[in-house]
Amino acid sequence: MKEQLKYLSVIAAVSAALSGCGTPGKEGEASSGKSDVEMNMQEAAEHADAMLDAVFESIKPEVQWTHDETTTTSCDLIRRRTVMTIISKERRGSFLGLVERFWEKSGYEITAVNKSTKFPAVYAEDSDGFTISLSIGDQGQAFFEAATPCVEESAVADPTSSPKGVNYAGKKIPRPNVHSDFWSSTTPIPSASPTESAD
C-alpha cells in the first residue's frame, strides 16, 4: 500500500510538472499564468478528449475503460480515463509499446519512459504543449491522463465520449475487473516492447 501511494504521488508530481502551469505562488496562492495557446479551458478539454479518444481507438484488441476525475486549476486541466481491462504483467510492456508507437506516429514527442516491470509508464507531448501519459498501477490497471497547457479560464463541461463498458463516472472506480483473452494472458508476447524491462 505504501509503495502504491508513493507511486501515485510521483505520477501526480510528474503530471503537474508536465502541465507547465498553475504553479503555487507565495503563501499558497496560485499564480495568474497567461494563456500559452489561443483557446479556452473548454476548447482545451475537448482537445485533450480527442487525444484520449484517438489513443483508445488505436488499441487493438480494444480495452474497456471509464471516465475518471477531471481536475482544474486557474488556467489548465487534466482529463483522466481508467482502464477496466486487466493488463497482465506479461503483456504490460507490449501494451505500453503499442501506445508509445502510436504517439510517436502521431507526431508526439516521448518525454519520459518508466521501465519498471511493476509500475511502468510513458509520457508524451504534442506540438501545442498538451501532455498525455499512460501508467500501470496496482493489479495491472492502466491509467491515461491528458493535461492541457495554460489557456483562457472558462467553464468546463463533462466529457462527451461514451465509455467502453461500465461507466463509473462520479463513483468509486474498482480495480480492473474485465478479462481479455489477449491483454490478460499470462503468456508473454515474443516481440515485447523495449519499455518492458527490470527495475
What would the DSSP string read from start to end of the chain?
-HHHHHHHHHHHHHHHHHHT---B-GGGPBP-PPPSSSSBHHHHHHHHHHHHHHHHHH-SS---EEE---EE-SS-EEEEEEE-B---TTTHHHHHHHHHHHHHHTT-EEEEEE--SSS-EEEEE-TTS-EEEEEE-GGG-EEEEEE--S-B----PPP-SPPBS---TTSPPPSP-B--TTTT-SSPPTT--TT----
What is the per-residue pLDDT for 5?
A: 39
Average pLDDT, the chain: 83
Residue 10: φ, ψ to 5°: -65, -45
pLDDT of 128 over the 70 cut: yes
What pLDDT digit, counting tens, does each position of 53-96 carry? 999 999 999 999 999 999 999 999 999 999 999 999 999 999 99
pLDDT of 42 over the 60 cut: yes
What is the per-residue pLDDT for 36?
A: 56
What pLDDT digit, counting tens, does each position of 147-195 carry? 999 999 999 999 999 999 999 988 999 999 999 999 999 998 876 443 4
Q: By percentage, how much of the chain surpasses pLDDT 90?
A: 71
